[in-house]
Structure 1
Amino acid sequence: MQFAMTEEQAMIVETTRAFVEKELYPHEAEIERTGHLDMDVIRDVQKKAMEAGLYAANMPEEVGGAGLDTLSWLMYEKELGRANYALHWTGVARPSNILLAGTEEQKEKYLFPCMKGEKWDCLAMTEPDAGSDLRGMKATARGDGDDWILNGTKHFISHADIADFAICFMATGVEDTPRGPKKKITAFFVDKGTPGFEVRDGYGNVSHRGYTNAVLEFDDCRLPSSAILGEVDKGFDVANTWLGATRLQVAATCLGRADRALQHSIDYAAERKQFGQQIGKFQGVSFKLADMALELKAANLLTWEAGWKFDQGTVTESDMSMAKLKATEMLAFVADEAIQIHGGMGLMDELPLERIWRDARVERIWEGTSEIQRHIISREMLRAVGG
């Protein structure tokens, strides 16, 4: 593994960071003040991101994306992660690569409009009684001739309010396993406006102002078989094949926010004076900076290694869980220490630190809680010795 960035990677980092600082930072204060991300802002950022070649950069070149390898993509995500989440997620959109699993007809209807910025997608798995335990989902789809009838509820569905369609995972049967009966899962495309499908406002959230979540209700929602993504009862196969790197994406965006918080802390420690000298001269502050830098570098290395191994085809579930776990917990630590270094000013909204601190909290929950990541890591270790 090479630790130096290639010339192309350096250009990606430089271009993306410049875009974030010029086009995204100026909108942050308004979003934080109102909790709302205006569609005119989204469209303006979207247009500029396309012109800069940053839109849908996670997707292959053959479908109109930038075709970045995983490691380069994570470097790109780190730079975007410096900014308000809702702003970069919708304005510099990265359509879910699960769309690549669709048929040619499905790609024409869903994938390519997303690539052009004409549509947005959302993924619907989580339910009120099925978060980490997705096999425990209660929302169902039953066959009715050539059609399927969907019933149930999904919640915490990110940006479903602006999405034109949802990719919904529904229980379609039961299978016996060594650990008892488990639900079979099938993925469906569901267009907004389909009878029996309703999108309701979700919950207020302390993290990521401007980001929205929604509740999806299915009441005898009828879909044709052509709406199935992948195969019947093989929804988890589709998800595991195409969504594995989402934990690395979370890790990478955390790196960006932590780096921003650390840099603010370094600058402040060098500028702020107390008792006749820079506060960075005091060990109580300088040791904090050293610990913050250490934790950030460790998280960087774990994330870059997992991305590199992903491209080599050697990545493990444990690799990705370690990166996600370390990066999210590191961000919480760095954000808290940054505020401590700034004192009362760190909690004021003149600086992005209180936002980074608030935003950090959700990262240890979504895309698999810290407890789930530890379970995955330890399970892989124990299996190696027959445990």
Structure 2
Amino acid sequence: MNFGLTDEQQMVVDTVRSFCENELYQHEAEVERLGECPRELGEEIKRKVLEMGFYAPNIPEEFGGGGLDHLTFALLERELGRTSMALSVWWGRPSNILCACDGEQRERYLLPAVRGERFDALAMTEPGAGSDVRGMKTFARQDGDDFILNGTKHFISHADLADFVIVFVATGEEETPRGPKKKITCFLVDRGTPGFEIRPGYKSVSHRGYHNCIMTFDDCRLHKSQVLGELHGGFEVMNTWLYATRITVAAMCVGRARRCFDLAVDWAAEREQFGQPIGKFQGVSFKLADMATEIDAADWLTLSSAWRLDQGLDANRQIAQAKLYASEMLARVTDETLQIYGGMGLMDELPVERFWRDARVERIWDGTSEIQRHIISRDLLRAKGA
């Protein structure tokens, strides 16, 4: 792995960071106060990103996207991690699972998403099925050329913005040596389809303004042309396109940690107690040293896992390690930053308490820390036949 950035990669980093600092930071307090990003502001962000030619950077060039490799895209996500997710979501990064679209699906879903004309959301989680994807109860029954969907999804990120949703549901069952196992199929469902409703979700302390939603299907009828991939082939689609999304979480955690760390260093250098800057005290200076070390370690874990994907190497364990370590690192960094700030760290006049709150969800979504540890340990033991 070459540890230096190419000119193109450095340009991506500089451009995205500058955009966040000059166009997005100024709106963060408003988003926190309102609990949402005003639609007109979001559309303005999208317009500017489209004009820069940076929209859909993760989608291959053959479909009109930016065609960034995994490493460069991780660098972009790292910089977007510095700002509010309610704002950065408008820097459109359509789910790359849409690359599985075929024929008319490309004109209806993929290409409009790349052009910024339609917004997508991804739905897997259910009230009774989070990490256990096979435990989902939302079911699609075939009826001639149609499928009839019934069930509920929740914790569906930014579905309130979505024009269509990529939904994974059970479509059958098969017998295995370990007992019955559900077959999973992926569908493309348009907002406004009869029997399909998107409702406001729960109020979360993390990422205010970046909403989760509840989706219900009540005899929702879909044509077979809305199956993404093959019937019962949902896991193949998922494993082909989705597992690298954990790199995005890790990268954004690194970016947010670096911004938070910069605030901690500034405060330690400026805040005085007992006649000197508090950074002079070993109790504070050693915190900074540990934070810097952990951020760098998470950064390299994340970038190296993305690099492995670009080299065509197996990276499942490395991606899990990056997601696990970066999300838990962010929790420690935000907590220590708040400790360095003291009581002021808890006040909403400063962004520290927001970083602290936002950090908590990173150890849960896109695979909990426990799931990541399972992936890592399983990979290690499989090599020994255990």
TM-score (ref. length: structure 2): 0.99
- Structure 1 CA distance, aligned partners of 2:24 and 2:178? 48
2:322 pairs with 1:320: no
Aligned to 1:62: 62
Which residue of the partner structure matches residue 52 of structure 1?
Answer: 52
- Aligned letter for 1:273? E
Residues 122-271 of structure 1 mapped to structure 2, 5 A cutoff: 122-271=121-270
Question: Structure 1 residue 299: deviation in Å?
Answer: 0.4
After TM superposition, give the deviation of residue 177 of structure 1 in Å: 2.4
**CA contact 2:59–2:67 (8 Å) conserved in 1:** yes
Residue 104 of structure 2 is matched in structure 1 by 105
Matches of residues 27-42 of structure 1 in structure 2 within 5 Å? 27-42=27-42
Q: What is the distance in 2 between the residues matched to 1:273 and 1:110?
A: 56
Contact 1:37–1:87 (8 Å) recurs in 2: yes
SS at match of 2:171: strand
Please give the per-residue CA displacement for 1:102-140, whole angstroms capped at 9, x wherever unaligned: 112101101111112111101111111000001011110
Contact map agreement 2:328 2:363 (CA 8 A) in 1: yes
Match for residue 84 of structure 1?
84
Gaps of at least 5 residues in structure 2 are: none
CA contact (8 A) 2:146 2:222 kept: yes
State the alpha-carbon separation in 1 of the partners of residues 264 and 150 from structure 2.
50
Code of the residue aligned with 1:193 in structure 2: it is G
Question: CA offset at residue 315 of structure 1?
Answer: 3.0
Contact 1:142 1:148 in 2 (8 A): yes
Q: Read off the aligned partner of 1:84 and give its amino acid letter.
A: S
Q: CA deviation at 1:55?
A: 1.6
Paired amino acid for 2:64: G
Q: Deviations over 1:50-81 (max 9, x none)?
A: 12222211111122221111101000000011
Task: Tell me if the contact between 1:306 and 1:315 (Cα under 8 Å) persists in the aligned partners.
Answer: no
Quote how far apart the aligned CAs of 1:274 are. Answer: 1.1
User: Which residue matches 1:43?
Assistant: 43
Tell me if the contact between 2:36 and 2:86 (Cα under 8 Å) persists in the aligned partners: no
Task: Tell me if the contact between 2:184 and 2:234 (Cα under 8 Å) persists in the aligned partners.
Answer: yes
Are the aligned partners of 1:16 and 1:54 in contact in 2 as well (CA < 8 Å)?
no
Given that residues 81 and 256 in structure 1 are in contact (C-alpha distance below 8 angstroms), is that contact kept between their aligned partners in structure 2? Answer: yes
Q: Contact conserved, 1:266 with 1:289, CA < 8 A, in 2?
A: yes
- The runs of at least 4 consecutive aligned structure 1 residues that moved more than 6 Å come to none
1: CA distance, partners of 2:70 / 2:197: 35
* Structure 2 counterpart of 1:279: 278
Amino acid at match of 2:265: I
TM-score by length of 1: 0.98
Q: Which residue of 2 aligns with 1:359?
A: 358
Aligned letter for 1:147? D
Q: State the alpha-carbon separation in 1 of the partners of residues 122 and 34 from structure 2.
A: 26
Q: One-letter code of the match for 1:240?
A: N
Q: How far apart in 2 are the matches of 1:104 and 1:356?
A: 43
SS of 1:170's partner is strand
Q: CA RMSD in A?
A: 0.9
Gaps of 5+ in 1: none
CA contact (8 A) 2:168 2:185 kept: yes
Tell me if structure 2 keeps the 8 A contact 1:154–1:215. Answer: yes
Number of the residue aligned with 1:7: 7
Partner AA of 2:269 in structure 1? A
Report what 2:95 is aligned to. 96
CA distance in 2, matches of 1:360, 1:62: 36
The DSSP-based 3-state class of the residue aligned with 1:221 is: strand
Query: 1:336 — aligned with what?
Result: 335
The amino acid that maps onto 2:51 is E
Amino acid at match of 1:375: H
Aligned identity (percent) is 63
Q: Output the amino acid matched with 2:218.
A: D
Q: Distance in 2 between matches of 1:340 and 1:117?
A: 42
Q: Cα offset for 1:301?
A: 0.9
1:39 CA displacement: 0.3
CA deviation after TM superposition for structure 1 residue 350, in Å: 2.4
CA contact (8 A) 2:271 2:277 kept: yes
**Residues 273-330 of structure 1, C-alpha deviations (whole Å, 9 max, x = no match):** 1111111110000000000001101101110110000101113211110000000000
AA in 2 matched with 1:101 = A
User: How many residues were matched structurally?
Assistant: 386
What's the secondary structure of 1:161's corresponding residue? helix
